[in-house]
Amino acid sequence: MRLHNLSPRPGAKHRRKRLGQGESSGHGKTSGRGGKGQTARSGSSIRIGFEGGQMPLIRRMPKRGFNNAAFATRYIPVNLKSLDQFENGATVDEAALRKAGAANGRLTLIKILGTGEVKKKLTVSAHAFSASAKAAIEKAGGTCNVITKPKAESQKAEATK
């Protein structure tokens, strides 16, 4: 067996559709573009949702309700199993978690979740803890410090000054 003897498996290669090669090719005359009109022209592209000048469906539908997604509190999740890499008696905070690669991303708030187990006595500082994570850390002899985030009222008061 040599390289020049190799060939693709049967059915793996398809013939290219040759457009505009006469009626007998099956792709002659309009070359698969249908009849006349905007889509038959070269360079034509119609954006998604365009309905030929008619008011599009997305704009006809009433907009109702309130979505709280823009105001949601988002946390970087950190599991207990990733805290096990720290030494016994260590203080684990946001900077330590980021340096260890356990908390990545642009978000600034960190929440400790209860997947895994901690066997070391750690002092963990985070913005939030799940109930199971807090119980596991305290069971191992460690402590949980909740970092309070600044209140929205105080930020508004400072903005008006």
CB count in 10 Å sphere of residue 94? 17
What local confidence, expressed as pLDDT, does residue 74 receive? 94
| Average confidence score pLDDT of the chain | 90
Confidence at residue 67, expressed as pLDDT on a 0 to 100 scale: 86
Per CATH, is 73-149 categorized as 3.60.15.10?
Answer: no
Mean pLDDT (whole number) for 5-24: 93
Residue 121 pLDDT exceeds 80: yes
Tell me, what's the pLDDT at 151?
60
Give residue 161's pLDDT: 59
Residue-level pLDDT at 150 = 64
Q: What is the mean pLDDT of residues 107-127?
A: 94
Judge contact between 114 and 144, C-beta under 8 A: no
- Domain ranges for the chain, please list them: 73-149
| The pLDDT value given to residue 28 | 92
Name the residue type at position 106: R
**Rounded distance, CA 99 to CA 66, Å?**
39
Task: Report H helices in the chain.
Answer: 57-60, 94-100, 131-139, 152-160
Tokens at residue 145, please?
A: 């410090």
| Residue 125: per-residue pLDDT | 96
Please tell me whether the overall predicted TM-score, pTM, comes out greater than 0.85 for this model: no
On the question of pLDDT at 157 being above 70, the answer is: no
Q: Pick 144 or 69 by higher pLDDT.
A: 144
pLDDT of the residue at 22: 93
